[in-house]
Amino acid sequence: LDRLSGRRRIDALGVVVENLTPGLARELAVETSGILVQRVDPRGKAARFGLQPGDVIIELNGRRVASADELEEAWQQSNRELRLIVSRGGRLLMIRSTP
C-alpha cells in the first residue's frame, strides 16, 4: 500500500494496518503508540484472533510495536502462542492465540 503513510497490508495476518502518529492518536483519543488496524480480512488469522478495525496493537509477545515493519518482524519471529496487547474503545485487552 503506501509506505510513506505507514499504511500497509500484512498478508500473513490478513490485516491492513497504519502506523499510529501523534496526530492520529489525538484524533482517535488514544494515549499510546502502536499500530492502528484499518481492515481485517474475515478469513485471515487476525479475524480468528478477534482483532477488529479500530484496534490499536501495542505489543506482540511482550515486544512493543510502533510500526507495521516491527509488527511484521515480531510476527515472523513467533512460532508459539501469541499474546497481543490491544487498545480497544479506551480499554486494554490481551488476546492470546496460537500461530
Query: Per-10-residue mean pLDDT for the chain, 99 residues long?
Result: 70 91 83 88 92 94 89 80 88 84
Residue 47 is predicted with a pLDDT of: 93
Residue 1 lies in a domain: no
- As for how many domains the chain has, the answer is 1
Longest dimension (CA), the chain: 35
Cross-strand pairs, 82 = 97
Residue 5 is predicted with a pLDDT of: 62
Which amino acid is present at 63? Answer: R
- The parent domain of residue 40 ranges over 7-97
The model's pTM is 0.86
Evaluate whether 48 touches 19 at the Cβ level (below 8 Å): no
Residue 80 lies in a domain: yes
DSSP tag of 24: H
Residue 2 lies in a domain: no
CATH number of the domain within which 14 lies: 2.30.42.10
3-state SS assignment for residue 26: helix
Residue 85 lies in a domain: yes
Residue 32 lies in a domain: yes
Determine the Cα–Cα distance for residues 99 and 87; give it in Å rounded to an integer. 21
